[in-house]
Amino acid sequence: MATFDNFFNWVMLMACVLLIVPNCINAQTSNASTIHIKSSSPNIIIILADDLGYQDVGFNGCKDIPTPNIDKIATQGVNFTNAYVSYAVCGPSRAGLITGRYQDRFGFGRNPLFAPNDPEMGLPLSEETLATALKKGAYKSVALGKWHLGAHTSQRPLKRGFDDFFGFLSGGHQYFPELWTLKDEYEVKAQFDAYNTKLLRNDDRIEEKEYLTDALSREAVSYIEKYKEEPFFMYLAYNAPHTPLQATEKYLTRFKDIKDPKRKIYAAMVSAVDDGVGNVLKKLEELGLTENTIICFLSDNGGPEKVNGSNNGILRGGKGDVFEGGIHVPFAMKWPAKIPEGMTYEAPVISLDLFSTVIAQSLVPIQSKNELDGVNLIPYIVGEKKGIPHDYLFWRKFDQNKVACRNSNGDKMIVHKDEQMLFNLKEDISETTNLIEKDNEIFQTLQASYQNWNSQMSDPIFYGLGDDKEYNEKHPNRFNKQNKN
């Protein structure tokens, strides 16, 4: 009897084992699948400088400002030699980048005013940000630094797809913490007072002690650590080297040989950004995340040379222009898992392409809410797709009546009020020789393409920086705190 009982117990035990083991295997397989998804969807870091000159990075030939860490992105990946932003000033350029769409499609054709009570003064809620799109692929997202896409609570980063935010809402900011004397947006009394507000961490104003660029770099490293177990998107939007020109002795002492005082401070500010990029690269390496992280570096527009001491090299014009100096920017990308080192890509690309490129790499399929103007660059870079990303690129400054269109052959049309210009960028990157009389047929073709594009665009939907006085007259309670709905 005892023998039978022992045999019966053994049979029951084996039956339980046979039932449990497959479930354990399935659970392990499921967990392994989840881990595989998380490790295979690349991390995304977009590093955006502010008002950086085209020739103020080493990979574009800068001699007096070493940028070894920024240069690594280009030398360990791809340098785009004909890279553009979609607008020649900060706010609209950022709106295009973060949506992957020409900002004129949704009326973001001006630099927005700082208006914390105005839900229309910024990125329309109809637009999907890259952070919102990446949520569909199980990404975590953080925005660091300059926002400039709306100060109203409905337009701030946490309402536009980001899980975390550390930075400021206005178009610029003081760099030294002792100058951050306004506790919040409702102590602001004029447009540029917002430069003096305390920083935000998510929705809370904080006391910060570090030089602004260093604080942003510190937070970037911290959030990489925080998000290391899952795919993440980091939008690291430095406001350097945008004015005001302010730098600490740590960085100024590196440039004793630069005699021009404006250029010296500018160089120090760029060097601070480069240090921050180095810290980011080092943290990725420490955590074993380098191989499967896409890092992009670019400027939001060209440098305003007379204002901040920047250098656009041989490019004509600067910030605010539709000449090359205003829209042709330093642009590099690295992704060791996919992009070979030391590549140069010469076909025209635009900042709008980042949205399409990034969402296409997620292992979890992502469908964008709106039709995108950018394209996925990776197949072109690695040779999987022939041809070029864009036949035409377009620019429009509505209030100044400045427009431009270039084709993939380097032909570029510019119309500024009544002046018509045509250049061939392959032969004349400095835009010195107007070919309008010689090649009028090319001009007419470009103008027809522009007019077709322009017919799809919208007029600006909000007041811009030039309308500050008029806006104040119509909104006397612009900075007064109001009850939240």
Residue 40 has a pLDDT of 77
Query: What are the residue boundaries of the structural domains of the chain, listed by start?
Result: 42-390, 393-467
Residue 19 has a pLDDT of 41
Q: What is the mean pLDDT of residues 138-165?
A: 98
Q: How far apart (Å, rounded) are the C-alpha atoms in residues 298 and 46?
A: 8
Residue 135 has a pLDDT of 97
- Give Cα 332 distance to the centre of its chain: 12
pLDDT band at 4 (very low <50, low <70, confident <90, very high): very low
Centre a 10 Å sphere on the Cβ of residue 341 and count the other Cβ atoms it contains. Answer: 12
Between 418 and 312, the more confident residue is 312
Report the percentage of the chain scoring pLDDT > 70. 91
Centre a 10 Å sphere on the Cβ of residue 324 and count the other Cβ atoms it contains. Answer: 27
List 62, 90, 296, 405, catalytic entry: 90
Q: What is the mean pLDDT of residues 377-405?
A: 97
pLDDT, tens digit, 9 for 90 and up, residues 58-82: 999 999 999 999 999 999 999 999 9
Between 377 and 19, the more confident residue is 377
Residue 482 has a pLDDT of 82
Mean pLDDT, the chain, whole residue set = 93
Q: What is the mean pLDDT of residues 477-485?
A: 80
Q: Which long-range contacts (CB under 8 A, 24 or more apart) does 422-430 make?
A: 422/446, 425/82, 425/324, 429/314, 429/315, 429/324, 430/314, 430/315, 430/316, 430/324
Same CATH fold assignment for domains 42-390 and 393-467: no
108: Cα within 13 Å, side-chain hemisphere? 31
For residues 208 and 198, the answer to whether their CB atoms sit within 8 Å is yes
Of 422, 425, 426, the residue nearest 437 (C-alpha): 422
Residue 418 has a pLDDT of 87
Q: How far apart (Å, rounded) are the C-alpha atoms in residues 280 and 227?
A: 13
The dihedral formed by the CA atoms of 71, 77, 82 and 87, expressed in degrees to the nearest 10: -80
Residue 39 has a pLDDT of 52
Of 124, 91, 83, 131, the residue nearest 353 (C-alpha): 83
| Side chain identity, residue 107 | G
pLDDT, tens digit, 9 for 90 and up, residues 456-476: 999 999 999 999 999 999 999
148 is catalytic: yes
Q: Which of 3.10.129.10, 1.10.10.10, 3.40.1180.10, 3.30.1120.10 is the CATH number of 393-467?
A: 3.30.1120.10
pLDDT, tens digit, 9 for 90 and up, residues 305-327: 999 999 999 999 999 999 999 99
**Statement: residue 483 has pLDDT above 70:** no
Q: How far apart (Å, rounded) are the C-alpha atoms in residues 140 and 193?
A: 32
Question: 74 phi and psi, to 5 degrees?
Answer: -75, -45
**Statement: residue 21 has pLDDT above 60:** no
pLDDT, tens digit, 9 for 90 and up, residues 286-310: 999 999 999 999 999 999 999 999 9
For residues 103 and 353, the answer to whether their CB atoms sit within 8 Å is no
pLDDT band at 484 (very low <50, low <70, confident <90, very high): low
Residue 339 has a pLDDT of 98
90 is catalytic: yes
Identify the CATH homologous superfamily for domain 42-390: Alkaline Phosphatase, subunit A (3.40.720.10)
Please say whether the dihedral angle defined by the alpha carbons of residues 296, 299, 300 and 302, taken in this order, is positive or negative. negative
Residue 239 has a pLDDT of 98
Q: How far apart (Å, rounded) are the C-alpha atoms in residues 49 and 274?
A: 10
Residue 179 has a pLDDT of 98
250 token code pair: 């740590």
Q: What is the mean pLDDT of residues 214-236?
A: 97
Residue 417 has a pLDDT of 86
Q: What is the mean pLDDT of residues 253-274?
A: 98
**Statement: residue 84 has pLDDT above 70:** yes
